Amino acid sequence: MDPIDYKFHPWQQNLFQGFKRGEMMIISAGRQTGKSYLNQWYSAAMQDIQQPKHQIIDSAEVDGTQWHTVRCRPEVSTWIRTHTDSWHEHIDARWNMHRNMFDISEELYMLLVLKFGK
């Protein structure tokens, strides 16, 4: 079939005429590309923005020193990784690593609070 002879469906012709005011169209094939997926992605992004810079999830004493499990934003994670010791990537009970969760010592937590606030 010659592409010139191809007849567009009415909905395809509307795509070339532009978007209507207030209408959102997603032109993509495959799964998880619709409006509901975009809304889910947007909600997750807003939760990241609205969460505090850092938050203590759990605390425990290890070998006589206090350690905290901290969830933090990416900019705080970058700062934590610049320190050579006193932190570990958090690994949960299922052996999953979390990108922005760390087990940090009390001393490093105090530096974190001084740098980024409470």
Give the total number of structural domains in the chain: 1
Q: Can you give the pLDDT of all 118 residues of the chain as single tens digits?
A: 455 556 777 777 766 666 666 666 655 556 666 677 777 878 877 877 777 888 899 999 989 999 999 988 888 888 998 987 888 888 777 787 777 889 999 999 999 999 988 7
Nearest C-alpha neighbor of 106 from the set 72, 55, 61: 61
CB neighbour list of residue 106: distance below 8 Å, 6 or more residues apart: 65, 66, 67, 68
Instruction: Provide the 3-class DSSP secondary structure of residue 66.
Output: strand
Task: Report yes or no on 86 lying in a domain.
Answer: yes
Task: Report yes or no on 19 lying in a domain.
Answer: no
Q: Tell me which amino acid residue 10 is.
A: P
Task: Report yes or no on 85 lying in a domain.
Answer: yes
Task: Report yes or no on 48 lying in a domain.
Answer: no
- How far is C-alpha 4 from the geometric centre of its chain's CA atoms? 45
Distance CA 83, CA 104 (A): 11
Task: Report yes or no on 15 lying in a domain.
Answer: no
pLDDT (tens digit per residue) in 16-25 = 666 666 666 6
Q: Note the residue count of the chain.
A: 118
Which residue range is the domain that position 87 belongs to?
A: 53-116
Task: Report yes or no on 108 lying in a domain.
Answer: yes
pTM reported for the whole predicted model: 0.56
Task: Report yes or no on 59 lying in a domain.
Answer: yes
Distance CA 118, CA 108 (A): 14
Distance CA 43, CA 113 (A): 28
Task: Report yes or no on 32 lying in a domain.
Answer: no
